[in-house]
Amino acid sequence: MNKQTTIAKPGRAPTRYAPDAELEFASASRGQWRAIIHEELERLKNRLLQEYFSKCIDLALAPAIRRAANEAAALASISPYPLLVFPTLFEEKAEAAVRYHLRQQLVWDRSRRLMSMAA
């Protein structure tokens, strides 16, 4: 279809097609796309960590929350849509880290009480 073509149908205006146009796309390798996605995922992770720490009361949780964010980022990076998956994974992992920390605190407190009774 190198020449202009006119298609006329009864009751419709004729449609004209332009000569075939060649589209140029910016060629980026798969590795370049992965690097871009990885950078965006790191930015998102840092932003969500800042938001979380601005609301967090117990600073003893910071290492566990960072670990949760890194685990969530690792899992999200192997999914087809890491930027969509990461926030939910981070939320779930952070909640699990908080539950674990609270459980550990409870065990620690019980152990101290038991040790003080035995002494």
As a whole number of angstroms, the distance between CA 90 and CA 41 comes to 12
Is 9 domain-assigned? no
pLDDT in tens, 42-78: 999 999 999 999 988 788 899 999 999 999 999 999 9
Backbone angles phi, psi at 17, to 5 degrees: -110, 135
The total domain count for the chain is: 1
Identify whether 102 is part of a domain: yes
Domain ranges, residue 57: 29-118
User: Which among 30, 7, 32 has a CA at the least distance from the CA of 17?
Assistant: 7
- The CA dihedral of 43, 46, 48, 50, to the nearest 10 degrees, is -140
Compute the average pLDDT of residues 101-118: 89
Asked whether residue 101 is domain-assigned, the answer is yes
The CA distance from 86 to 96, in Å, is: 15
Of 69, 62, 58, the closest CA to residue 92 belongs to 69
pLDDT in tens, 51-60: 999 988 788 8
